[in-house]
């Protein structure tokens, strides 16, 4: 019986991934609905509360999906993390399919250990250099979003440890 259930679930996932989702009734998926955004953030424990405050301030509570990965946008575009990239694209596509999200809000942060791992100490040596490192990674992130998921909006920002955010366009 358990095996049967598993096969059924696998069928559902398989069907979705080859593009039949549009022809299937929406109740086939557990969490379908219409949501505002996917928020992309870093795993850093210090940022979880500021991120929560930020999404609350934008009245997004309960209206967004989350993808948390070391470095946020850096985790999606930096070469040293290339093994992770597919997980992001698969997840954002899944959230489009399940949640009908309209945009991705990517929030990098200052003093990010993953930024240091990805690009080296010199690229985050002072506030100005750090800003430029994130600006460049986020420009690449927006470019890849436009290439792969042109229907989605994209916002990119850099948050400090107190939760103050600077948006990049």
Contacting residues toward Zn ion, per CB under 5 A: 42, 44, 112, 114
Nearer residue to Zn ion within complex by CB, 36 or 44:
44
Q: Give the whole-angstrom CA distance, residue 17 versus residue 96.
A: 12
Q: Give the whole-angstrom CA distance, residue 86 versus residue 136.
A: 20
Looking from the CA of 93 toward its CB, the CA atoms found within 13 Å total 14
Distance in Å, CB of 23 to Zn ion, minimum: 40
CA distances from 44 to 18, 59, 118, 155 (A): 35, 23, 15, 20
Nearer residue to Zn ion within complex by CB, 20 or 122:
122
Distance in Å, CB of 69 to Zn ion, minimum: 9
Distance in Å, CB of 31 to Zn ion, minimum: 27
Give the CA radius of gyration of the chain: 17
Distance in Å, CB of 142 to Zn ion, minimum: 19
Find all residues with CB under 8 Å of 110, minimum gap 6, and list them. Answer: 127, 130, 158, 159, 160, 161
Q: Give the whole-angstrom CA distance, residue 34 versus residue 63.
A: 8
Nearer residue to Zn ion within complex by CB, 96 or 107:
107
Distance in Å, CB of 106 to Zn ion, minimum: 12
Nearer residue to Zn ion within complex by CB, 72 or 96:
72
Nearer residue to Zn ion within complex by CB, 42 or 154:
42
């Amino acid at each position: 019986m358990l095996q049967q259930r598993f096969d059924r679930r696998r069928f559902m996932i398989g069907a979705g991934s080859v593009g039949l989702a549009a022809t299937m009734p929406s109740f086939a998926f557990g969490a379908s609905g219409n949501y505002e955004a996917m928020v992309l953030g870093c795993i850093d424990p210090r940022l979880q509360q500021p991120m929560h405050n930020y999404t609350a301030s934008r009245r997004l509570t309960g209206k967004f999906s989350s993808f948390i990965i070391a470095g946020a946008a850096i985790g999606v575009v930096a070469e040293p993390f290339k093994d992770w990239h597919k997980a992001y694209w698969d997840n954002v596509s899944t959230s489009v399919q399940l949640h009908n999200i309209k945009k991705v809000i990517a929030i990098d942060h200052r003093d990010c250990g993953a930024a240091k791992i990805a690009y080296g100490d010199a690229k985050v040596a002072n506030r100005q250099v750090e800003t430029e490192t994130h600006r460049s990674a986020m420009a690449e992130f927006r470019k890849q979003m436009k290439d792969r998921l042109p229907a989605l909006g994209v916002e990119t920002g850099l948050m400090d440890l107190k939760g103050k955010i600077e948006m990049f366009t």
